Amino acid sequence: MDSVFFIRLVQFILSISLLVLLHEGGHFFFAKLFKVRVTRFYIFFNPKFHLFSTYDTWFRKLFRKNPVVVPEKIEKDDDGNERKVKEYVGTEYGIGWLPLGGYCAISGMIDETNQQLNEKPQPWEFRTKPAWQRLLIMIGGVLVNFLLALFIYSMVLYYWGESYIQTKDMTMGMKFNTEAKALGFKDGDILLGTEGGTFTTFGTDLYRDISEAHRVDIIRDGKQMAIALPGELNLLDMIKKQPPFVTPLVPAEIDSVLPGSPAAKLGMAKDDKILAINGKAVDSWNEFMLEISRLNDIVTAKATKSDSIAGRTVTIAYEHHATHVVDTVRTMLSEDMKLGVIQKSMWNFYTPTEVKYGFFESFPAGISYGVNVLRGYVDDLKYVFTSDGAKSLGGFGAIGSLFPATWDWMLFWRMTAFLSIILAFMNILPIPALDGGHVLFLLYEMITGRKPSERFLIIAEYIGIGILVLLMIVANLNDILRWLGYM
């Protein structure tokens, strides 16, 4: 198994397991608080079988609680045969084999566990509790996930602080694509901010601010000036275009060379600088990668192996760092169109801003950071309802690829906090089968005084499950198509 894939897989499973455990724990806490019976508490789903399960009889015995009643009752199987089964009044805790979430089976509640509600309502059931208690039980998971994200962000800031490069400190400026230049930008411009505020660092927030801005402040040739914008640029187009709307300018200097690679065979070394490819001058990694991308498109379209080899054969001009001698050599790129060099990042060329937080200072900073992440995510949801937005949906593969290729605890916790916010927001959407669907019907009941019928709730639950399954199929199909190179 590829080591990068394995590291990402482990991080994904660990992160999702933690989030599901605490999300369902939120439902569990309020259910127990209001004396509602919880029959099952599972991480991951367990159709047909499970990996592990235990009952809470040991817990009750340990703390001398009332013993769990384990009566026998008669059930009929699919063939009509009667059998005696034990009915555990306590909670069954378990781990399923299907890592698509988890569940907390609450007695008397219409959910994905498909429990029967034909019997007489009992005082320990969800459906007999006051609406406000049912509301708290339903929002418990979302509340825990959102608070968890804010807590993680706060602790990350407390332990590691913040380290980022402000756009004003990117003194070599940025590289812009054709669409950006048509709006008035020029390579080398230093981005400062918009009428909405000053940019901090380069990222999605910067793209979002530019897409909504009517004015962008820049420094060009040492002078500050402003560029007028329409205020309604398409964020997805800005990011997905190749090259993107804007990227920080990073000189084409080599950080390291991979053993056995085409670059190693040429004698390239750390700190050497690439000057041209196929006779075209490149002033940055931005330009170099753009040329490689164009060559890759050509090679992909080639019909024969000899044509492919010809497309991969390139002329590289580079300067030796030690001697400042310029060599122009001919070589063949690897089959995946790689030269075999690790590029220097912008952290090698620009001075970062370091911010440290005390324990109590970290909480308002973490809350502000988390709320800003949520605001950006909600703002970007409008693109989901476009054709490009639907194509950008990702499933488990896309989520897993967001984790770093090497184990980094800071990045792991940041990613876990981000997923926790997404999980909280997605679950509160008013879609039947999600927590938000239940909340919607409860609010209707609290406002009108009329409770929707159980038949209506069951039908709505199945419709909601159908919508979620369809979305999951589309998202994971997109992952497969991207992996196969069709998207």
pLDDT attached to residue 396: 66
pLDDT attached to residue 184: 95
Highest mean pLDDT among 144-158, 224-238, 365-379, 415-429: 144-158
pLDDT attached to residue 68: 44
Is pLDDT larger for residue 92 or for residue 390?
A: 92
Q: What percent of the chain has pLDDT above 90?
A: 38
Asked if residue 470 has pLDDT above 70, the reply is: yes
Question: What is the arithmetic mean of pLDDT over 171-199?
Answer: 94
Token look-up 């997923």 returns: 419
Query: CB under 8 Å to 81, separation ≥6 — which residues?
Result: none
Query: CB under 8 Å to 202, separation ≥6 — which residues?
Result: 165, 167, 170, 247, 248
Q: Band the pLDDT of 474: cuts 50, 70, 90.
A: confident
pLDDT attached to residue 475: 66
**Local structure of residue 405 (DSSP, 8 states):** S
pLDDT attached to residue 212: 92
pLDDT attached to residue 292: 87
Question: What is the arithmetic mean of pLDDT over 382-402?
Answer: 66
Residue 54: enclosing H or E segment and its boundaries?
strand 38-55
Least reliable range by pLDDT among 47-56, 227-236, 397-406: 397-406
**Model pTM greater than 0.85?**
no
Asked if residue 113 has pLDDT above 80, the reply is: no
Question: What is the arithmetic mean of pLDDT over 154-181?
Answer: 94
Q: Band the pLDDT of 451: cuts 50, 70, 90.
A: confident
Asked if residue 313 has pLDDT above 90, the reply is: no
Asked if residue 162 has pLDDT above 70, the reply is: yes
Asked if residue 23 has pLDDT above 80, the reply is: yes
Highest mean pLDDT among 20-24, 86-90, 99-103: 20-24
Asked if residue 227 has pLDDT above 80, the reply is: yes
Question: What is the arithmetic mean of pLDDT over 391-406?
Answer: 71
Asked if residue 4 has pLDDT above 90, the reply is: no
**Local structure of residue 228 (DSSP, 8 states):** E
What is the Cα–Cα distance from 337 to 267, expressed in whole angstroms?
18
pLDDT attached to residue 349: 92
Q: Band the pLDDT of 333: cuts 50, 70, 90.
A: confident
Express each pLDDT in 118-152 by its tens digit: 677 788 888 889 999 999 999 999 999 999 999 99
- Which stretches of 190-340 are assigned E, i.e. beta strand? 190-194, 197-198, 215-220, 223-228, 246-248, 254-257, 273-277, 280-281, 313-319, 326-332
Question: What is the arithmetic mean of pLDDT over 409-435?
Answer: 90
Is pLDDT larger for residue 430 or for residue 112?
A: 430
Asked if residue 231 has pLDDT above 50, the reply is: yes
| CA nearest neighbour of 150 among 349, 4, 364, 392 | 364
Express each pLDDT in 61-91 by its tens digit: 544 454 444 445 555 655 666 665 555 557 8
pLDDT attached to residue 69: 47
Question: What is the arithmetic mean of pLDDT over 464-478?
Answer: 75
What is the Cα–Cα distance from 216 to 228, expressed in whole angstroms?
7
pLDDT attached to residue 56: 64
What is the Cα–Cα distance from 90 to 67, expressed in whole angstroms?
9
Asked if residue 476 has pLDDT above 90, the reply is: no
Q: Using DSSP, state whether 481 is helix, strand or coil.
A: helix
pLDDT attached to residue 461: 82
| CA nearest neighbour of 344 among 294, 273, 244, 410 | 273
Is pLDDT larger for residue 483 or for residue 17?
A: 17
- Which stretches of 352-405 are assigned E, i.e. beta strand? 353-355
Question: What is the arithmetic mean of pLDDT over 210-220?
Answer: 94
Express each pLDDT in 247-262 by its tens digit: 999 999 999 999 989 8
HSE-CB for 366 with a 13 A CA cutoff: 29
Alpha-carbon torsion (399, 404, 408, 410), positive or negative: negative
pLDDT attached to residue 70: 47
Is pLDDT larger for residue 241 or for residue 484?
A: 241
pLDDT attached to residue 130: 92
pLDDT attached to residue 30: 94
